[in-house]
Amino acid sequence: MAVVEIPGSKSVTARALALAAGGRGETVLERPLHSDDTEAFAEGLRSLGYEVRLAPGAWTVVGSPDGPPAAEASVFSRDAGTAARFLPALAAVGRGTYRFDGSEQMRRRPVGPLVAALRAIGAQVTHDGAEGHLPITVVTTDAEGGTGGGLAIDASVSSQFLTALLLAAPRMPRGLRVEVTDMVSRPYVDMTVAMMEAFGVVVGREGDTFTVANQDYAGRRYPVEPDASTASYVFAAAALTGGTVTVPGLGRGALQGDLAFVDVLARMGADVVVEADRTTVTGTGRLRGLTVNMRDISDTMPTLAAIAPFADGPVRIEDVANTRVKESDRLEACAVNLRRLAIDVATGPDWIEIHPGTPRGAEIACFADHRIAMSFSVTGLRTPGLTLDDPACVRKTFPEFHEVFAALREQLPAAG
Ligand SMILES: O=C(O)C1=C[C@@H](OP(=O)(O)O)[C@@H](O)[C@H](O)C1
Ligand SMILES: C=C(OP(=O)(O)O)C(=O)O
């Protein structure tokens, strides 16, 4: 049996940083994720004038409830969707001129519905490049700023637009009432609301309409749970090889919807035990094919696609259109790589279907996407000669992935 310590959640770390920045007093994040995305978030806060101190295992943020301390700033989000979407909303409730940009990859990803929402609450937002994409500039003045009010938002492309607004909402003088017309990745919004409440804020919710009054956040010590999306790779490794993997710190009551990936493995035949403070997956030597809707947990779509060839029947993954606007077009990236491995695969606008087969060794094209690299590393446990063209792209969420995965490999049953 292997016990794998998984680093902190990217999504929880990003939210805790944003909440800490908007709160009164100091917040200490315990065991935050230290990776490219969360470093970009912390650096973004620093650019906005917040005091952020990064010590191993404990990050401290000094809050500024009235918005960014800096009156002018330029923020570079690197590849981080969380930073690119959450930080402009924080800026909109301040007073100043704030420019936001990101990597080429991040520039390709959408921010249009967020820009529309920030304008609707009273901030001035201009595009410095393509409409609906970074770079953007948010300008707020005494006369004009993110004062709040009522609006509707379409979160069918990304839930991060809604999370961004909600995180900033308590600092809007008029509060916020937001009606969501369509939503993907719903558990991430539940996480946002739960964490806002943990920082002392009341969020009203009736169906998909959220109301937040103008109120204060309180700084606090905040423990960050391990990353459930990252854990999907080691759980999949257990299911594939017939080994047992336990991840401590992730159990019933976890904030992250992606822990539900283990339910998919259970449907495929793995033995899954979710306890209060840990989760264990044991492979049973066979994987069953299935059809599964992954709209709520789409970051784990590539994990499933990567082990799908080993199932005894087709694996069809549905309702994941928005995976096409992540770090890569993930439906396409999975299909391209499965075909390189000589696996029969078909895709549509929002689905992928993978047929059983024996993958042959090939180089995986990572498309600078950490999840493609980590997912196909799991395939590599049973595919001699599988290599990655860009192993370093895992730094986005799990810089130590290859070392941890190599150590795990030693503890899993060898191919028979
Ligand atoms: O709010 C968050 O922390 C996230 C929301 C999800 O994005 P979408 O809502 O764009 O699907 C997820 O894919 C991403 O990794 C993190
Ligand atoms: C989509 C992802 O990241 P983000 O949107 O936070 O950049 C991810 O980590 O899979």
The answer to whether position 416 is within a domain reads: no
Mean pLDDT (the chain) is: 97
Q: Which residues, judged by CB distance below 6 Å to any ligand atom, belong to the binding site of ligand 2?
A: 80-82, 299, 326, 371, 397
272-291: pLDDT as tens digits = 999 999 999 999 989 999 99
Please tell me whether residues 210 and 239 are part of one structural domain: no
| Run of H or E residues at 321 | none
Please tell me whether residues 275 and 206 are part of one structural domain: no
Q: What interface predicted TM-score (ipTM) does this complex get? A: 0.99
From residue 400, give the alpha-carbon distance in Å to each of 34, 350, 394: 10, 32, 8
Q: Which atom of ligand 1 is nearest to the CA of 159?
A: 9
Q: Which amino acid is at 297?
A: I
For the chain, give percent helix, strand, coil, nearest 5. 40, 25, 35
Please tell me whether residues 129 and 149 are part of one structural domain: yes
The residues, ordered by sequence, that sit 6+ positions from 264 with a Cβ below 8 Å of its Cβ are 290, 292, 294, 297, 300, 304
Please tell me whether residues 68 and 151 are part of one structural domain: yes
Give the pLDDT of residue 142. 72
Sign of CA dihedral 185, 186, 189, 194: negative
Please tell me whether residues 119 and 46 are part of one structural domain: yes
Indicate if the pLDDT at residue 301 is higher than 80. Answer: yes
Q: List the catalytic residues.
A: 299
CA–CA gap between residue 151 and residue 145 (Å, rounded): 15
Please tell me whether residues 268 and 160 are part of one structural domain: no
Residue 141 sits in a domain whose CATH number is: 3.65.10.10
Cβ neighbour number for residue 142 with a 10 Å cutoff: 6
66-84: pLDDT as tens digits = 999 999 999 999 999 999 9
Q: Which atom of ligand 1 is nearest to the CA of 163?
A: 1
**Structural domain boundaries enclosing 354:** 228-411
Please tell me whether residues 213 and 244 are part of one structural domain: no
Q: Which atom of ligand 2 is nearest to the CA of 81?
A: 7
Please tell me whether residues 194 and 245 are part of one structural domain: no
The answer to whether position 1 is within a domain reads: no
By percentage, how much of the chain surpasses pLDDT 70?
100
Give the pLDDT of residue 275. 98
The answer to whether position 56 is within a domain reads: yes
Among 157, 187, 219, identify where a domain stops: 219
The answer to whether position 4 is within a domain reads: no
**Cβ atoms 19, 11 nearer than 8 A:** no
Distance 299 CA to ligand 1 centre (A): 8
Please tell me whether residues 85 and 184 are part of one structural domain: yes
Say which residue the tokens 């939503």 belong to: 183
Please tell me whether residues 190 and 298 are part of one structural domain: no
Indicate if the pLDDT at residue 416 is higher than 90. Answer: no
Indicate if the pLDDT at residue 143 is higher than 80. Answer: no
Please tell me whether residues 33 and 166 are part of one structural domain: yes
Among 202, 219, 236, identify where a domain stops: 219
Find the DSSP H helices in 242-369: 261-267, 301-307, 330-340
Q: Which of 185, 396, 401 to mutate to test the pocket of ligand 2 (most atoms within 8 A of CB)?
A: 396
Give the pLDDT of residue 145. 78
Among 166, 192, 219, identify where a domain stops: 219
Q: Domains in the chain: how many in total?
A: 2
95-120: pLDDT as tens digits = 999 999 999 999 999 999 999 999 99
Please tell me whether residues 351 and 210 are part of one structural domain: no
